[in-house]
A and B are shown apart, each in its own frame.
Chain A
Amino acid sequence: MYSRLSLRNMRRSIRNYVLYFTTLTLVCALMYSFLSLSFSDDVRALAENISLLTNGLLLFSVVVALISAFITSYAMDFILVQRKREFATYLLMGMENGTIVRLFLGESALIGLTAFVCGTAIGTLFGSVFAKMAMGVFEVPYSYQLRFSFKSMFVSFLLFLLMYGMGLVKSITVIKRTKIIQLLYDHVRNEVHTERSLRWYALYLLFSAAIMTLGGILLSRVVSESSNMALLILILGSVLVLLGVYAFYRRFPELLVELLGRSKNRIYRDANLFILGELRSRVNSSGRMLAVTALLLAFSLATMFLGLVMGAGYKANIRAEYPYDVTVAIDTKIADFDGVLDFIGAKSPVEDYVSYYLYRDPSIPVEILALSDYNRLRQQLGLDEQGLAGDQYLIHCEWSHRKEIKGSLALDPSITVNGKLLFSSEDLIFSEPMEQARMVGTDGRAIIVPDEVAHSLEASLSRLVVTLTDGGRAELRGELNRFIRNEWKPLVLSPPSQRVTMSITVRAWGIANSLSGFSALSFCGLYMSVIFIVLSGTVLGFEQLASLVRARRAYSIIRHLGVTDSERKGLILKELIIFFLIPAVLPCTLLLLLAIGSHKVFAAFIVQPNAIPLYAFVTLSIFTVLYGLYFAGTYVIYSRSVLGRAS
């Protein structure tokens, strides 16, 4: 009997449940798909440190479940409010509280399970797309295939239980504690309008803007801070910005409505006066929620944008970080690298190699390289050769050093190397990626001098660059590392006073492992932000639908006053557009500011041109599509409910 009643109740209040069900399904789908990515054997085999991505996704899933629990609880509150009078009727008929709880539990379990099953099915589709994307990042061929992961489903179900259970427990407590009188008359409470002066609003908003600005200043300082304080400043700056956004939004919509109300010319045009009233009511009853939504949106847009930009920057910079197939750096002078070359040759065919020294002159603070060695390195990278007159030197540095070096050259273009005077100019500064921090210099710059000048100096560091015919395998790094450390006995020509440091890079390994970082940043950023946008859309949708009873009456009144059905549709559209735009304006503005700021500061460090504007656009597009879906859904349900009943 009760199960039939539950089913009938669900069918009858299907409109209330549409948004709720959609959100539950989407959250389940995203959770399952990201978890399936996390547990995928194909993905786990991509790189040694891929756990950065897989563990990150697992951790984020727990966070998502906890945050979603609050939203689920909020959605259940909405449904409870809609059904308070129905529950009151059951109580008046003599039904026990426990029975109502069981009825509600039955309905919720049915909805939850259906949403979970649908979500898992959709998640299987999403999972395949995400797997394809992840494989694409690593440039591993992958064809779409629907794979069901029992492990992902099991973990998703546990997280879903956590999320849904928390919401259910709260709702059951509410049903148990609420008295019949509250259930019957809760909807007839008056709205209370608090009047504040413009001056109060101005001071409040200035204060919140100041908090945001302070946060922004702190964030801009993170770039120049190289100590561990950077993380602290980053957290503090982010918290201040988000706090400022919340504080700003807590009162900004009220001020907006207040200002609109003062502009008689504007509100007495068309039916703006009616819209003003509706907005006033929404802002009055949903102020806190609008602020929370703005906060969620600001956080999600920033997370998505930074995740995509940092990930893309990372990927684009990887090739610059690893320009050579294999490098070995020994920080002392050794006779040769023959043993190492033989070992590499046995593993992969060697196409070419450069074995050379970096020299030091006590009067010059950077390493010196012979021109012929430098040109051999350029040759490995397909760069053109450079020439020098007998009294010239050139400088090879990272982009970030160019300005400073140009300034020094303008002051004094000459240096003395081992008693020989050499000159340079701006035309002799080069900045192609050649590993300026290790292979061409050790701190981002090196001086290149004619061979005879270089050979008159004492060699201090030994370097080997190898170009392989097949580009090499990631495993070579481990094998080479073990060989050099355990088996190779180089002939050291100038014993150092301290322990010799050495390093090995293999491009195939470096790229694969760096891509893990890229994937982790991008996928985790995308995961969190998509979930937050979905949750924000849900909250806004429910807030709007919560006003259905009042809205039906209001739109019915203006119908009697002679407003046509098409005009009323237009008014509903206008009302919803404004309601959905309010919490989105500042987060989008902040995103644009973040993009402009990042472009100014980081553009020079990202090899991919216009990566920042591109990903700002991608972020806004994803946001617009998701947010737009919730807007459209809310509009359809709201307008049908309001106009359907009224007409």
Chain B
Amino acid sequence: MCILEAIDIKKDYGVEPNITRALNGLSFRIAKGEFVGIMGASGSGKTTLLNCISSIDTPTSGQIYLDGKDLLDIKDRDLARFRRENFGFIFQDFNLLDTLTVQENIALALVINKVDTKKVDLRVHEIAERLGIGDVLGKYPYQVSGGQKQRCACARAIINQPLLILADEPTGALDSGSSRILMETMQEMNQSLRATILMVTHDAFSASYASRILFLRDGTVYRELERGDQTRSQFFGQILAILEDLGGYSGCIPDSV
């Protein structure tokens, strides 16, 4: 079943004669329960695509359907509600509120979605235990590690069981150990909790946890890679090969893969 469908999306910035085309007729589909990675060099249009999908930005032309509903048909005043009911977000810099505890940060997503107040604590504890942050619920973001912060952000993103989780460079601010734990957490969210995830990343190691990867170049899909039955190590190798082909990566396979 198709959850997200993007058809011929174009996005221009600037005014004539200085127009920059960030997305150039980009099309793809994501099925329910998929874990899709989006990779590409800087300026390839990754973040622009994510912003258009999340309805924070609007494409110049094209259609984006989420669960059959055209995002461009939604009126401005209804966008916020649509976003909170259908999307979960994970950002590179966590985007947690420093003024709230980990528990309150997760609960905030439920509160904004007007969930029954009696069920809030129960659901927060459940998800926190599953993502391994049950013991830091009472702490403030500055009192926990980067990995714990990002798992808190994951818990906040998934707690409303959104149709699609959008992750923008989720391991960008983490060390390798924390990155591995986070990606395992996201894999768990995808496999056990049936979350559909669209993740933008530069990092081949993080991308190797996805089931499919779209490589962007100059605002279009340059290549598409399916993991299929490959091991993650094999998949990682393939990712690196394509990145090399794209001319944007020259790393080597880490031991831990």
* Contact residue among B79, B91, B111 (Cβ-Cβ distance under 8 Å from A273): B111
Interface contact A281-B98, CB-CB below 8 Å = yes
| Chain B, range 128-150, C-beta contacts under 8 Å to A | 140, 142
Contact with A along B237-257 (1 / 0, CB 8 A): 000000000000000000000
Residues of B close to A563: CB separation below 8 A: 80, 84, 112
Q: Tell me if B121 counts as interface (CB < 8 A to partner A).
A: yes
Q: A417-425, A552-560, A582-590: which lies at the B interface?
A: A552-560
**Which of A193, A270, A273, A567 has most chain B Cβ within 10 Å?**
A273
* Complex CA–CA separation, A269 to B113 (angstroms): 10
Q: Tell me if A191 counts as interface (CB < 8 A to partner B).
A: yes
* Complex CA–CA separation, A270 to B120 (angstroms): 13
* Complex CA–CA separation, A566 to B79 (angstroms): 12
Q: Tell me if A264 counts as interface (CB < 8 A to partner B).
A: yes
Interface contact A562-B97, CB-CB below 8 Å = no
Interface contact B99-A278, CB-CB below 8 Å = yes
Interface contact A273-B95, CB-CB below 8 Å = no
Interface contact A559-B80, CB-CB below 8 Å = yes
| Chain A, range 267-305, C-beta contacts under 8 Å to B | 267-274, 276-278, 280-281
Residues of A close to B56: CB separation below 8 A: 560
Which chain B residue lies CB-closest to A192? B142
Interface contact B113-A562, CB-CB below 8 Å = yes
| Chain B, range 38-68, C-beta contacts under 8 Å to A | 54, 56
Q: B100-108, B189-197, B199-207, B217-225: which lies at the A interface?
A: B100-108
Interface contact A264-B112, CB-CB below 8 Å = no
Interface contact A193-B140, CB-CB below 8 Å = yes
Interface contact B108-A562, CB-CB below 8 Å = no
Closest Cβ of chain A to B209, distance in Å, is 23
Q: Tell me if B117 counts as interface (CB < 8 A to partner A).
A: yes
Contact A264 B120, CB 8 Å, known A562-B113, A563-B84, A564-B81: yes
Interface contact A561-B89, CB-CB below 8 Å = yes
* Complex CA–CA separation, A566 to B78 (angstroms): 11
* Complex CA–CA separation, A265 to B54 (angstroms): 31
Q: Tell me if B85 counts as interface (CB < 8 A to partner A).
A: yes
Q: Tell me if A426 counts as interface (CB < 8 A to partner B).
A: no
* Majority DSSP secondary structure for residues of B touching A: helix
Interface contact A561-B117, CB-CB below 8 Å = no
| Chain B, range 107-123, C-beta contacts under 8 Å to A | 107-113, 117, 120-121
* Contact residue among B112, B140, B142 (Cβ-Cβ distance under 8 Å from A561): B112
Q: Tell me if A139 counts as interface (CB < 8 A to partner B).
A: no
Q: Tell me if A190 counts as interface (CB < 8 A to partner B).
A: yes
Q: Tell me if B180 counts as interface (CB < 8 A to partner A).
A: no
Q: Tell me if A550 counts as interface (CB < 8 A to partner B).
A: yes
Interface contact A561-B99, CB-CB below 8 Å = no
Interface contact B95-A277, CB-CB below 8 Å = no
Interface contact B142-A273, CB-CB below 8 Å = no
Contact A554 B97, CB 8 Å, known A193-B140, A562-B80: yes
Interface contact A270-B111, CB-CB below 8 Å = yes
Q: Tell me if A186 counts as interface (CB < 8 A to partner B).
A: no
* Complex CA–CA separation, A271 to B89 (angstroms): 18
Closest Cβ of chain A to B211, distance in Å, is 25
Size bin of chain A's contact surface:
20 to 34
Q: Tell me if A565 counts as interface (CB < 8 A to partner B).
A: yes
Closest Cβ of chain A to B117, distance in Å, is 4
* Complex CA–CA separation, A558 to B107 (angstroms): 12
* Complex CA–CA separation, A268 to B104 (angstroms): 9
* Complex CA–CA separation, A267 to B124 (angstroms): 15
* Complex CA–CA separation, A193 to B140 (angstroms): 9
Contact A191 B111, CB 8 Å, known A265-B117, A560-B83: no
Which chain A residue lies CB-closest to B115? A268
Residues of A close to B79: CB separation below 8 A: 564
Which chain A residue lies CB-closest to B142? A190
Residues of B close to A271: CB separation below 8 A: 108, 111-112
Interface contact B104-A273, CB-CB below 8 Å = yes
* Complex CA–CA separation, A562 to B163 (angstroms): 14
Closest Cβ of chain A to B250, distance in Å, is 32
* Complex CA–CA separation, A567 to B140 (angstroms): 25
* Complex CA–CA separation, A281 to B141 (angstroms): 13
Residues of B close to A558: CB separation below 8 A: 97, 108, 112
Contact A280 B99, CB 8 Å, known A265-B117, A562-B113: yes
Contact A268 B107, CB 8 Å, known A562-B84, A564-B77: yes
Residues of B close to A191: CB separation below 8 A: 98-99, 142
Interface contact B117-A274, CB-CB below 8 Å = no
* Complex CA–CA separation, A290 to B80 (angstroms): 35
Contact A557 B97, CB 8 Å, known A191-B142, A264-B121, A562-B81: yes
Residues of A close to B120: CB separation below 8 A: 264, 268
Residues of B close to A276: CB separation below 8 A: 100, 104
Residues of A close to B111: CB separation below 8 A: 267-274
Contact A561 B84, CB 8 Å, known A264-B121, A265-B117, A554-B97: yes
Interface contact A273-B84, CB-CB below 8 Å = no
Closest Cβ of chain A to B170, distance in Å, is 14
9 new A-B contacts at CB < 8 Å, known A264-B121, A271-B108: A268-B107, A273-B100, A274-B97, A557-B97, A558-B112, A560-B54, A560-B91, A560-B95, A564-B81
26 CB contacts below 8 A, A to B, read A267-B111, A268-B110, A268-B111, A269-B111, A271-B108, A273-B111, A274-B100, A274-B108, A276-B100, A277-B100, A280-B99, A281-B98, A557-B95, A558-B97, A558-B112, A560-B54, A560-B89, A561-B89, A561-B108, A562-B82, A562-B83, A562-B84, A562-B85, A564-B77, A564-B79, A565-B80
Residues of A with Cβ closer than 8 Å to B? 190-191, 193, 264-265, 267-274, 276-278, 280-281, 550, 553-554, 557-567
Top 6 closest pairs, chain A to chain B, by CB? A562-B84, A277-B99, A564-B80, A268-B117, A277-B100, A281-B99
Residues of B with Cβ closer than 8 Å to A? 54, 56, 77, 79-85, 87, 89, 91, 95-100, 104, 107-113, 117, 120-121, 140, 142, 156
